[in-house]
Amino acid sequence: MKKTELLKEIEQFKEKTMPQTEVKELIALYPYFTLAQLVQATKESKHTFNLHALFPDRSYLKTLLSTNEDRQSTKLIDENLKKSSFQTEEKDKLNETSVESKELMYHSDTENVSIDELIEKFNTSYPKISICIEQSEEDEVYEDLCKTSVSEKMNIISETLAKVYVNQRAYDKAIKIYRALIVKYPEKNSIFANLIEELKEKKNSQKI
């Protein structure tokens, strides 16, 4: 509001009847405007005069007028306090849950570490258990028989198999394989022929 407008308002203030809300706004803009404060006081006095008819007990009316605004302010304060307390409780709950989750993670990590350490200690302190089973002669014979039966069924012919028969002193079977190898590998004819002669000599020596 400009100065000229303010002066006009002052000149017309007595003639003009302003609503109470406009008077309060004017006092808020100009707190040292005495004339507006006087008009506000007269309006409030009229309001209290009308209340006298409703409330003959002046002491009760005084407490009602003095505590009405206080009650509203206390209600607002209580509501704000409740909101702030609720927010703080929620924050505390969130903090507690975060702390509990961190503690659980810490405990789980420590448990995992302890288990790993126990496994390492067990592996280092206790020697490995090795099971040694001695193979008996019967098992060896059984394995040899299995090898021979499988090879015969599959018609496998090789120098290795011939040597196996020689070790088992099955000279006839070894000679038979060497003869088959002569047909299969003619370039080694002389080698296999010499081996056959040696086996025949061993066979004859057993008979003597």
Which tokens in the block code for residue 142? 């059984």
Question: With contact defined as beta carbons under 8 Å apart, do 175 and 196 qualify?
Answer: yes
d(CA 37, CA 18): 13
User: Is the model more confident about 26 or about 55?
Assistant: 26
The answer to pTM > 0.75 is: no
d(CA 24, CA 40): 7
Query: Which pLDDT belongs to residue 194?
Result: 92
Q: pLDDT by residue (tens digit) across 79-133?
A: 767 776 667 777 777 767 666 666 656 555 554 556 667 666 665 665 554 444 4
DSSP 186: G
Q: Reduced to 3 states, what is the DSSP secondary structure of residue 185?
A: coil
Give the N- to C-terminal CA distance of the chain in Å, as an integer. 147
Whole-Å CA distances, 150 to 24, 137, 178: 117, 20, 18
d(CA 56, CA 65): 14
Whole-Å CA distances, 74 to 63, 79, 95: 15, 8, 31
Query: Which pLDDT belongs to residue 118?
Result: 66
Q: pLDDT by residue (tens digit) across 152-198?
A: 444 567 888 888 988 998 989 999 999 999 998 899 899 999 999 99
